[in-house]
Amino acid sequence: MTAATLPVAEPRARFVDLLAAEWLKFWSLRSTPWFLLLAGLAVVGFNVGSAYDHYRNWQYYDAESQANFVANGLPLVDAFTSNAELILLLATSALGALAVTGEYGSGSIRTTFAAVPARGSVMAAKACVVAVVLTAFGAVVAGVSFWLSQALLSARDAGVSIDHPGAWRVVVASALLAPVSGLVGAAIGAVVRHSATAVIGGVVVLPLLPTFFSEGRYWSATIRHALPERAWRELTRTVDWGGTPYPMTTGGAWTVYAVWAAVAFVLTVVAVRHRDQ
Amino acid sequence: MGRCGERVADGSVDGVIEVNELTKRYGGTTAVNGLTFTVRSGRVTGFLGPNGAGKSTTLRLILGLNAPTSGTVTVHGRPFRDHRRGLRHVGALLDAGDVHGGRTARAHLTALAVANRIPRTRVAQVLAEVGLSGAAGRRIGGFSLGMRQRLGIAAALLGDPPVLLFDEPLNGLDPEGVQWVRGLFRGLAAEGRTVFVSSHLMSEMEHTADELVVVGRGELIAAESLPEFAARGGSHSVTVVTPEPAALAAALTAEGGTVREADGVLSVTGLKAAAIGELALRQGVPLHELTPRASLEEAFMELTADRVEYTAGGAR
């Protein structure tokens, strides 16, 4: 037998090894834990700040406002405010994008793909790590936000427990917005392969795009309701004020989350298949 | 370091990297044009060409990072991208900068090892082999180019692969590092591995390569052994310094040599250094210097210059 045909002894390729490698790469950057910590503090800070405003100004509300505070759904508004949601979208989509574009910016993507020619598997592992980390991140910030905001409001007898109708939905929908947004960022990163462009892309697609479409026309409302940011608003809305000609459903909103996550995942994997690296 | 020395057992010289009619165009630019050559095992093959000759593109095509416009390239008969994991098949250093500066050397190598199911203990081994053990915990961003080259070589060695590719590995290395890399390449080839090393400097290959693949403007100029390539450089010349240049010049001319004199230094063609030394001894002429001039550099310059001229003037 000649050297040219000598087989190389090789253990079976396992996806779990790629997960372990991507996990290691994700946490081996010093900026990652700091970024998550600061983003988490900002999100929790906006929510607690809103609850604190209600707590501090409680004495100035008239009796009717005080009596209807819970019925109007305000405790759950404080549990996760739209300001906190904006910060969450920006931070998580940027993190997802940078997890991918960081490799292109540094050129390490070539080292990665030369070591693992199964490119799609690498990107799938990367997306899984982003999704898992951000699900945990979302759970922590949404859970802590709910707990702290309701603890503050309870001092005015205006807080609700997690058993309150819609409370779980607000917490879970806010928590899961993190991995959905992170996967969207990763997909944009895999397509554009440039850090600044990908981060801006995340801003345009997630918080900005819904503002271009109104609720007034059917086609416009349909597009608007298919966007993850609107899905979060629907899922965290606990009082039906009416007035929307084409209302959205809770089931539809969960579906939007699932479809965006799935499509983003597939796009991240497929984007690297045929292009030169 | 646990290499498989038995690969060299039969001194096999079979083609390992087979490049066949390989062409790569980027838009209107042709980076590689109909390239065909074979790289064999058990020897160091230099991949030589001026800047922009298509060397890096060819290496990326071998690794499947870029797809060819036409033609094929295989390693051990298979396109490299057919492998699910690569490091046990081909170890490559394409660009020392292809790393994330925020990671430590150890983290960088560990991630590569883990993805390929290579034991983590191997990381410390390769770091020691390239002399980076002391810098294992430091971030790559603070590394000099020479240290990055060593790290890239460590990554290439991780999987103990039978085939190794290096793109300009000597850039940024100190003289000690250059010596070490040459010894390393020779050692890897002696173990029966296929070692393919690119460079734009002939002088770097002169003491390292057994075989040469020379390209210019994306086209093959030569694929042959080092001595064969050197012979293309026309006449070999020998530099001779003597206190009696006139006497020696006359004797050399009588012996059939052609002598040019400048500032008392003779430049002799048509006679080998050994013959000149023996002649000087017979004539009783003292010699202060007797240096055969390598014509590799000349051959390289001539051939690549021809190629540039040819492509610039000819129809493409």
Query: pLDDT > 70: what percent of chain A?
Result: 97
Contact B89 A8 (CB under 8 A): yes
Contact A115 B41 (CB under 8 A): no
- The CATH number for B269's domain is 3.30.70
Residue in this structure with the two tokens 């209302």, named with its chain if needed = A247
Question: Model confidence at A1, in pLDDT bands (50, 70, 90)?
Answer: very low
Residue B204, pLDDT score: 82
By CA distance, what is B120's nearest residue in A?
A: A21
Q: Distance between CA atoms of B185 and B147, rounded to whole angstroms?
A: 17
Domain boundary among B207, B229, B251: B229
Residue in this structure with the two tokens 């707990």, named with its chain if needed = A147
- Tell me, yes or no, whether B23 and B65 share the same domain: yes
Q: How many domains does chain B have?
A: 2
Is the pLDDT assigned to residue A139 strictly greater than 60? yes
- Tell me, yes or no, whether B192 and B250 share the same domain: no
- Tell me, yes or no, whether B49 and B101 share the same domain: yes
A117: distance to nearest CA of chain B, Å?
5
- Tell me, yes or no, whether B186 and B260 share the same domain: no
Q: Which residue has the higher pLDDT, A6 or A65?
A: A65
Contact A117 B85 (CB under 8 A): yes
A77: distance to nearest CA of chain B, Å?
39
**How is residue A5 annotated by DSSP?**
G
pTM: 0.87
Q: Is B254 contained in some domain?
A: yes
Contact B117 A116 (CB under 8 A): no
Q: Distance between CA atoms of B110 and B131, rounded to whole angstroms?
A: 17
Q: Structural domain of residue B20, as residue ranges?
A: 5-229
Express each pLDDT in B133-156 by its tens digit: 999 999 999 999 999 999 999 999
Question: Model confidence at B233, in pLDDT bands (50, 70, 90)?
Answer: low
- Tell me, yes or no, whether B245 and B208 share the same domain: no
Question: Model confidence at A7, in pLDDT bands (50, 70, 90)?
Answer: low
Q: Is B241 contained in some domain?
A: yes
Q: Is B311 contained in some domain?
A: no
User: Tell me, what's the ipTM?
Assistant: 0.93
Q: Is B193 contained in some domain?
A: yes
Q: Is B302 contained in some domain?
A: no
Q: Distance between CA atoms of A39 and A145, rounded to whole angstroms?
A: 13
Question: Model confidence at A10, in pLDDT bands (50, 70, 90)?
Answer: confident
Q: Distance between CA atoms of B71 and B57, rounded to whole angstroms?
A: 14
DSSP readout, chain B? ----GGGGTT----EEEEEEEEEEEETTEEEEEEEEEEEETTEEEEEE--TTSSHHHHHHHHTTSS--SEEEEEETTB-GGG-S--TTTEEEES-TT-S-TTSBHHHHHHHHHHHTT--THHHHHHHHHTT-GGGTTSBGGG--HHHHHHHHHHHHHTT--SEEEEESTTTT--HHHHHHHHHHHHHHHHTT-EEEEEES-HHHHHTT-SEEEEEETTEEEEEEEHHHHHHTT-S-EEEEE-S-HHHHHHHHHHTT-EEEEETTEEEEESS-HHHHHHHHHHHT---SEEEEEP-HHHHHHHHHHHHHHHHHHS--
Express each pLDDT in B45-92 by its tens digit: 999 998 889 999 999 999 999 999 999 999 999 999 999 999 999 999
Express each pLDDT in A182-208 by its tens digit: 999 999 999 999 999 999 999 999 999
- Tell me, yes or no, whether B58 and B135 share the same domain: yes
- Tell me, yes or no, whether B126 and B256 share the same domain: no
- Tell me, yes or no, whether B11 and B95 share the same domain: yes
Q: Is B47 contained in some domain?
A: yes
B29-40 vs B237-241, strand pairing mode? unpaired
What are the backbone dihedrals phi and psi of residue B169, each rounded to the nearest 5 degrees, phi first?
Answer: -70, -15
Domain ranges of chain A: 14-270
Residue B3, pLDDT score: 43
Roughly what angle, to the nearest 10 degrees, separates helices A119-154 and A250-270? 150
Residue A6, pLDDT score: 52
Domain boundary among B229, B246, B271: B229
Residue B314, pLDDT score: 42
Chain B 174-233, residues with CB within 8 Å of chain A CB atoms: 192
**Mean pLDDT for chain B?**
88
Chain A contact for B63 (CB, 8 A cutoff): yes
- Tell me, yes or no, whether B30 and B120 share the same domain: yes
Q: Is B279 contained in some domain?
A: yes
